[in-house]
Amino acid sequence: MKLSTLLLTTLTLAYPVYAATTYTGPVGGDILDGANWDNGVPDNSNLGTVATDAVWSGNLQDVDFTITGGATLVRGADIIPDFRGDTDIVIDNGTINVSTGTGTRVLRVRNTASITINDGGNLILPTTRNLELFNTASVIMNGGTLVASSFNVGNISDSEHSFLTISGGLVDLNNTFTPTGFINFTSGSTGALDIAAADQSYYEGLWASGGLRYDGANSGTFADHFEVTGGVLTAVAVPEPSSTALLGFAGLFLLAKRRR
């Protein structure tokens, strides 16, 4: 057997090969209708892509897909949206808008489900309704915007679980809350948490209680990691080495080299 064939066989056995499916239905079609996909409704091993405005008409269970191409996904019925099981949704240059449709509804994310928001992505709830997180569900902010009234995280089953990770983007909430689990800002985060009813003492209280952490830890002081401007919490910028410092390092290097 040729070496290249052997390597290909080894890699194929070592890593699972996932199928893919693309939404090909009409604008406003239902993503839970298998006829609207070129390879069936997505699941954990059949990853979906939605690049056309569409709706969902019921709970999502173990469904994995990415919203892209500027597409918007809305409720197709007056349901309480519920993302369950191992559902993983990536909003990448697209939008999930729960504020449209009949009535106002919360959004429930439970079990191990996750929502990842990248640059150009938006998750929009009515500013009077909560994003409800259960079990070990999580939201990961790499960019974009999340708008809601607040979080309801009293149902998180692990107090050491990061239900919200902020590396970039804006989380815009209308009300304060008392979390179970914690909000985690990653090192070098460019993201922001804007809670309309909050001030610096509120954020410092979150830090003191362990409800706010930096890189998963609660070491040092609040001021070491965060700053608050007009009620908006951001991570303290990590300073880049100055040109003076770089010249100093270069000088020490040359001096050490001459002494050899």
- Count of domains in the chain? 1
User: Using an 8 Å Cβ cutoff, are 106 and 130 in contact?
Assistant: yes
Amino acid 258: pLDDT: 47
Q: Residue 158: what pLDDT?
A: 74
Residue 46 vs residues 31, 38, 40, 126: alpha-carbon distances, Å:
14, 11, 8, 31
The predicted pLDDT at position 102 comes to 59
Q: What is the pTM of this model?
A: 0.85
Question: Is 59 a residue whose pLDDT tops 50?
Answer: yes
Helix (H, G, I), strand (E, B) or coil at 249: helix
In a domain, 59, yes or no: yes
Q: Confidence class of residue 154 from pLDDT cuts 50, 70 and 90?
A: low
In a domain, 52, yes or no: yes
- In this prediction, residue 179 carries a pLDDT of 85
pLDDT digits (tens, 9 = 90+) for 11-42: 445 556 679 999 999 999 999 999 999 999 99
pLDDT digits (tens, 9 = 90+) for 81-135: 999 999 999 999 999 999 876 567 899 999 999 999 999 999 999 888 999 999 9
Could you tell me the residue range of the domain that residue 134 belongs to?
Answer: 21-258
Q: Is 8 helix (H, G, I), strand (E, B) or coil?
A: helix
What is the spatial distance between Cα 229 and Cα 248, in angstroms, rounded to a whole number?
Answer: 34
For 235-245, what is the mean pLDDT?
65
**What pLDDT score does 125 carry?**
93
CA-wise closest residue to 90 among 119, 56, 58: 119
Compute the distance between CA of residue 81 and CA of residue 46 in angstroms, rounded to an integer: 22
In a domain, 13, yes or no: no
Residue 159 lies in a domain: yes
With respect to residue 85, please indicate whether it lies within any of the assigned structural domains.
yes
Residue 70 has which token pair? Answer: 């500027």
Which two structure tokens, joined as six digits, stand for 112? Answer: 């191990």
What secondary structure letter does DSSP report for 237?
A: P
The answer to whether residue 149 sits within a structural domain is: yes
- The end-to-end CA distance of the chain, in Å, is 53
14 in a structural domain: no
